[in-house]
Structures are given as C-alpha cells and as structure tokens.
Amino acid sequence: MKLKYTVKESDNYQTIKEILSLEFHLSSRLTTKLIKTKQIYKNGILADTRSSVVSQDCIVVNLDYEEDTCNIVPTKMNLDILYEDEWFLVVNKPAGIAIHPSRLHYDNSLSNGIRYYFDSIHLKKKIRPVNRLDFDTSGLVIFAKCEYIQQELIHQMSVAIFKKEYLCLVEGFMDPKEGKIDLPIARKEGSIIERCTNTNGQKSVTHYKVIQEFKNCSFVQCQLETGRTHQIRVHMKAIGHPILGDTLYGNASNLVPRQALHSYQIMCIHPVTKNKLNFMANLPKDMKLE
C-alpha cells in the first residue's frame, strides 16, 4: 500500500509537506505518525517533509507498516466479501451480528471475523469499518485496510460523495409515494440507545420512494443525505410508517423476524485510483415478500 506522486512542471509545490496535504489529503495526525515511523520517501530515499521538491521528483508514502491488532479477538467466520483490493474490502453483513466487539459480542462481531481474515492474509492492520449498521440491519459494510482509506471515505461521507441507499419494508401505505423527510434527530431523553425527532437535534434528511405495495405494508427505497444513528428507523416512525419488525421504534411482525432494513447500495470514489465505484448487495431472503 503506497501512495505515489511525481511532481509536474506546472506544479507550484515547494515542499513534500504541501504534497502530502494537497495531493494526498493526509491529516496532520497521520502525517505525524508517518514521520515518526519513517514512511515518507523522495526518489527512493527517506525524506523530511520540509524537504524541497522540483519537477520529476517522486514522492512515496508507505502505508504497509504493521499495527497492533491485539484489541480484537480473531474468530473464523464465513464472510460474504463482495469486493476486495489492497486498500479496502466490502462485506455483505447478515442481520443478527454486531459490527464492533462489545461486552455482549466480545468474540462474535463482524470485526472479529475481519481480524481473522486479515490474519489469514498476513495483514497486520487495525480493523477499521468505514460505515456502520445496526445489529439487525443487513447489507454493505466497508472495511478500510489502513487509516488513510478510512479517513478519505469518511471525508467523502461528510461532503455527500459517499452515497448510501437502503431498502426497507414499512407499515401501511405511504402518501406521497416519493418524497423527502427533513426532520432533525436527537438522542431521546433518558435513553442511551433510542433516538427521536427533535427541533434541537442534528439536521437529518432521508429521501424515499415506494417501490411496491403489499397487503398492509410498502417496500421502500431510501437514500441518506445525512447519516445519523437510526436515521431511517426514526424518520419512518415519525411519519407514521415504522419499519416492519422494528421493536424499538415500531412493532414486532409475523412477516419479518427482525427490522426489515437492508443497506443495498454504496456509491463512492476510490481514494487512490479515483474510479467511481458502485457496490450492491442482493435483498436477503427474510425481506422478500410475495
């Protein structure tokens, strides 16, 4: 994992530090770490970030250094990996598994499975999920293989380049069939888990479109403009159409054994190749209604 940049005639860069900041968008924290671990080179020679640059100088940042991974127990799992390159991988998470280890999921979270997989390919890197899904939400999760990729993709989220689309089943029939829910979300008073719409909350915007209607529920596509905790679940409850099977914000269902929410599509720009990427995860069986 190496970032490379060759200085052009037309560039106005004076130092390596400017290239790290303006070309690679490295944070000051990561730059400091790379300096301390001696991972920055000019023309194949270890370099100081204050070093000057001229046309045709080749600047390389090495991100292959090993990291301590002992904070997560490796657990063998059958991972559904939809995409992988040297920089990150995309996993289709089933419902009923946590992203992070916790007191209740010390050795059976998705991160435990990723740690085992990283060990199997001899990758000594911290486990870095880029996006997060609730325990009972299924679908796409990206795991960065280094701090740089995590940093870049999270930045893309903040400027709406990284787009997430979900499919869900909601109670009742929506009217209108397509629209925007623009309601601020805040933590519910007295709860460490539950959220609610609140004028004092953070701006939260969900775009929705009804795809199909069944006997007493609707199949809906949602695109997030913001990414608040439980956003779709809270917004659907707020407009009177809670997600099927969502016992925190709605009701249990005899049609779906869990909250019927699936992260089915992610669109982003590859931080290194700059290619447009589009990942999709098929709808799981437990959300398919006849």
Residues forming the active site? 134
Sign (positive/negative) of CA torsion 19, 24, 25, 31?
A: negative
Q: Where are the alpha helices (DSSP H) in the chain?
A: 16-22, 28-36, 110-120, 147-158, 231-238
Residue 259's φ and ψ, nearest 5 degrees, are: -60, 125
Q: 102 in the Ramachandran plot: left (φ > 0), alpha (ψ -120 to 50) or beta?
A: beta
What are the structure tokens assigned to 6, written together?
Answer: 């060759």
Q: Which amino acid is at 197?
A: T
| Alpha carbon distance 44, 226 (integer Å) | 42
Nearest to 121 by CA among 86, 157, 171, 150: 86
| Alpha carbon distance 93, 136 (integer Å) | 10
Please check whether residue 154 is in contact with residue 269, taking contact to mean a CB–CB distance below 8 angstroms. no
Helices 28-36 & 147-158 angle (0-180, nearest 10) = 170
Residue 149's φ and ψ, nearest 5 degrees, are: -65, -45
What are the structure tokens assigned to 137, written together?
Answer: 């939400």
Please check whether residue 42 is in contact with residue 58, taking contact to mean a CB–CB distance below 8 angstroms. yes
What are the structure tokens assigned to 230, written together?
Answer: 């439980």
Distance of CA 159 to the CA centre of its chain: 14
| Alpha carbon distance 227, 248 (integer Å) | 19
